[in-house]
C-alpha cells in the first residue's frame, strides 16, 4: 500500500478538514480537499505543485463522500470478475504503474497485467499515482509507442505476482 508518513498525514488532515465541512461553502471545501490530495499522488513532495487539477466544478465532487459511499463504492464491490471472464479480453493493454503508488497499490497493476492475456506492465520506479507528472519521459514516450502499435521496450509480460 505504500502506507508511509504522507499517507497517514493525508488522512489526519482530511479528518481535521471534515470537522469544518458544515461551515465551509461546498466549492471552497472541495478545493481544500483537492489541495490535500495532491501530495498523495506523487512520491516526491516537490512534484505536488505540478498537479493543477481539481474537479470542484462537477456536482459529484461537491458531494464526493456521499457520492462515493452511495454509488461508487457499492458499484465496485458488486464487480466480481473471474480470471476466465477477464481472459476473454484480447485487446492489447498497457498498464503503467508507479512503485510508490498510495492510491492503488503497485501489486494491483501487476495483477491486472497478469490476468489480462494480452497485457504488459510498464513499471515506473519510485513514483506514485501520477507517474506522467513525476517521470514524463518514462511514461509519455512508451504511451506513444503503444499507440503506434508496439510494446514499449521496458513493458514486461507479468508471469507471477
Pair (62, 99) in one structural domain: no
If asked whether residues 16 and 54 sit together in one domain, one would say: yes
Residue 53 confidence (pLDDT) above 90: no
In a domain, 154, yes or no: no
Total domains, the chain: 2
Would you say residue 158 lies in a domain?
A: no
Describe the chain by its helix, strand, coil percentages, rounded to 5.
55, 10, 35
pLDDT band at 114 (very low <50, low <70, confident <90, very high): very high
| Confidence at 59, pLDDT banded by 50, 70, 90 | confident
Residues 73 and 11 both lie in one domain = yes
Predicted pLDDT of residue 58 = 85
Q: What distance in Å separates the CA atoms of residue 93 and residue 146, rounded to the nearest whole number? A: 9
- Give me the chain's average pLDDT, please: 92
* pLDDT at residue 1, as a whole number: 73
Query: Are both 50 and 90 inside the same structural domain?
Result: no
Cross-strand pairs, 119: 93
Whether residue 3 has pLDDT greater than 90: no
* Residue bearing cell 507528472: 133
In tens, the pLDDT along 63-95 reads: 777 777 788 889 989 999 898 999 899 999 999
Residues 39 and 14 occupy one common structural domain: yes
More confident residue, 136 or 33: 136
**What is residue 75's predicted lDDT score, i.e. its pLDDT?**
93
Q: What is the mean pLDDT of residues 28-47?
A: 92
Q: How many CB atoms lie within 10 A of CB 16?
A: 10
pLDDT of amino acid 69: 79
Q: Domain residues for 33?
A: 5-78
Question: pLDDT tier at 130 (50, 70, 90 boundaries)?
Answer: very high
| Cα–Cα distance measured from residue 11 to residue 131, given in angstroms and rounded to the nearest whole number | 22
**Which has the higher per-residue pLDDT, 136 or 68?**
136
Q: Is the pLDDT of residue 154 over 90?
A: yes
Are 68 and 106 within one domain? no
Residue after which a domain boundary falls, among 78, 105, 139: 78
Pair 126, 43: CB distance under 8 Å: yes
The mean per-residue pLDDT over the stretch 33-43 comes to: 92
Amino acid at each position: 500500500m505504500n502506507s508511509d508518513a504522507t499517507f497517514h498525514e493525508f488522512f489526519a488532515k482530511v479528518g481535521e478538514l471534515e470537522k469544518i465541512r458544515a461551515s465551509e461553502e461546498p466549492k471552497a471545501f472541495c478545493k481544500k480537499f483537492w489541495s490535500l490530495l495532491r501530495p498523495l499522488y506523487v512520491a516526491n513532495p516537490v512534484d505536488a505543485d505540478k498537479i493543477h487539477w481539481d474537479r470542484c466544478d462537477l456536482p459529484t465532487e461537491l458531494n464526493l463522500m456521499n457520492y462515493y459511499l452511495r454509488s461508487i463504492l457499492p458499484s465496485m464491490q458488486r464487480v466480481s470478475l473471474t480470471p476466465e471472464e477477464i481472459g476473454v479480453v484480447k485487446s492489447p493493454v498497457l498498464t503503467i504503474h508507479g512503485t510508490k503508488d498510495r492510491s492503488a497499490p503497485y501489486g494491483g497493476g501487476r495483477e491486472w497485467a497478469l490476468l489480462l492475456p494480452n497485457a504488459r506492465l510498464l513499471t515506473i520506479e519510485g513514483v506514485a499515482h501520477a507517474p506522467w507528472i513525476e517521470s514524463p519521459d518514462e511514461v509519455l514516450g512508451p504511451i506513444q509507442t503503444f499507440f503506434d502499435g508496439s510494446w514499449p521496450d521496458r513493458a514486461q509480460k507479468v508471469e507471477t505476482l
